[in-house]
Amino acid sequence: MKKEIPIQKSTSLINPGCVVLASMKYKDKSNIITLAWQTPLSIKPKLLGISVGFSRFSHNMIQNAGEFVINIPGKNLLKEVHGCGRISGKDTDKFKKFHLTEHPSVNISSPGIENCLGIIECKLEGYFTTGDHTFFVGRVLGAKAEETAYDFDRFCWRTQPDSELLYHLGGNHYLTGSAYLKI
């Protein structure tokens, strides 16, 4: 027998992928936003998508910068991931507040996050409205991963504690491959 789930919670049935930190830079200001909604879109060309709410400060920064970086944090960054999703970058430098280090990108102006396990540099290819969010499509221009955390022969994350990814369950609830976490 199946139990009904409220429509508002229906997306919890789908594994949306790991939590990412998107970083971007417009003019002289860098910013970070925590996102649970991201997805691969195309192999040729290699395209990825992220969904950002209209009201988020990062929303206009991505539109104006025309680029963004998808950063893949490990579970060791749980407090930083949660914090970056709870405050606005409008008046706060999240890199400084959460002791995150900018990683210079090779192909774009926006920085990645050195503390993360992986970094994917994207040029904005297009965007469209999806309800109360904008879906940003990025063309992948470059990607890097920590050698100790990523298996470059199998193209997957290693199954070890230092390379466990975070999955957002909603609110203060997260999951890794081996543990339930609440912050």
Q: pLDDT digit string (tens) for 97-121?
A: 999 999 999 999 999 999 999 999 9
In this prediction, residue 11 has a pLDDT band, given cuts at 50, 70 and 90, of low
**Cα 38 from Cα 138, distance rounded (Å):** 11
State which amino acid sits at residue 38: Q
How far apart (Å, rounded) are the C-alpha atoms in residues 122 and 45? 12
Statement: the pTM of the whole predicted model exceeds 0.75: yes
Whole-Å CA distances, 183 to 45, 118, 162: 38, 23, 19
Task: For the beta carbon of residue 153, count every other beta carbon within 10 angstroms.
Answer: 6
- Compute how many other C-beta atoms are within 10 angstroms of the C-beta atom of residue 160: 9
The better pLDDT of the pair 175, 129 is held by 129
Give CB contacts under 8 A, 24+ apart, made by 126-130: 127/63, 130/51
Per residue in 18-51, pLDDT tens?
Answer: 999 999 999 999 999 999 999 999 999 999 999 9
pLDDT score, position 4? 79
Please say if the pLDDT value at position 86 is more than 90.
Answer: yes
Tell how far CA 117 is from the center of its chain.
12
Q: Is the pLDDT of residue 183 over 80?
A: no
Q: Beta-strand (E) ranges in 56-175?
A: 67-72, 102-103, 112-113, 118-130, 133-145, 150-151, 156-157, 167-170, 173-175
More confident residue, 128 or 162: 128
Q: Which residues touch 153 (CB under 8 Å, ≥6 apart)?
A: none
CA 154 to chain CA centroid, Å, is: 22
CATH of domain 18-145+158-182: 2.30.110.10
pLDDT at 100: 98
Q: How confident is the model at residue 2 (pLDDT cuts 50, 70, 90)?
A: confident
The share of the chain scoring above pLDDT 70, in percent, equals: 95
Domain boundaries, the chain: 18-145+158-182
- Type of residue numbered 131: G
Q: Tell me the Cα Rg of the chain.
A: 16
In this prediction, residue 151 carries a pLDDT of 86
